[in-house]
Amino acid sequence: MSRIRVVLMALVAMAFTVGTAHAVDLNGKKGIGFAQSIGGPSGFAFDYGLGNLHLEALLGVPIQMPKDGETGYTLGLGLGAHFQALRTDSAAWTIGGRVDIGLNQPPIKDADSVTQFNIDIPMRVYWFPNKNISLHVEGGIGIALVGEDGAVFGGAGGGGAEGTYISFLNPITAIGMTFWW
């Protein structure tokens, strides 16, 4: 089991011991955590709250180091915004938009790098076990624009062949956690 999943499970278990949960006003607050997009990058998330809107930047850099071959990497960036459409004392539902870009340099000598663009319309459900932590799950619509060199992202990121791939109302496939201050 990956370390991220173990940490998230521990945070969820710890959050159940909290007496009162809070859907805090995120205006002016900064956040850092982990997030997965519908069809794009997964990794560190950097957030900034502007009232009922919060801006988010995602950064993921998986590195491939095969036994025989050169080191390769994938650079995934996502920029988006989430609007809190519904909010209660301990939860919020958001809808937003995100643009993802991925660059893959395969670990094969003289192989061309591959670039891919995605557009996501994420819908998230947040749970605030306290005023500094939010846990969320994400689903929604993903549009992958795969070029002639193939796909960078898996899942809703495209089937590999050139074309446009739409994942309509993708079920909840992404999870995340943010620490707010």
Tokens 């025989």 belong to: 68
Instruction: Convert the pLDDT of each residue in 66-94 to its tens digit.
Output: 777 778 888 999 999 999 999 888 889 99
Instruction: Convert the pLDDT of each residue in 31-75 to its tens digit.
Output: 999 998 888 888 999 999 998 899 999 999 888 777 777 788 889
In the chain the domains, ranked by start, together with CATH numbers, are 3-180 (2.40.160.20)
CA atoms of 33 and 132, how far apart (whole Å): 11
CA atoms of 26 and 86, how far apart (whole Å): 14
Instruction: Convert the pLDDT of each residue in 4-33 to its tens digit.
Output: 666 566 556 555 545 555 556 888 999 999
Q: Find the distance separating the first CA and the last CA of the chain, reported in whole Å.
A: 29
CA atoms of 181 and 160, how far apart (whole Å): 40
* Residue 78 buriedness (CB in 10 A; 0-12 / 13-18 / 19+): buried
Residue 110 clears pLDDT 60, i.e. is over it: yes
Please, which pLDDT band fits residue 137 given cuts at 50, 70 and 90? Answer: very high
CA atoms of 66 and 64, how far apart (whole Å): 6
User: Taking residues 96-107, what's their average pLDDT?
Assistant: 89
Residue 131 DSSP symbol: T
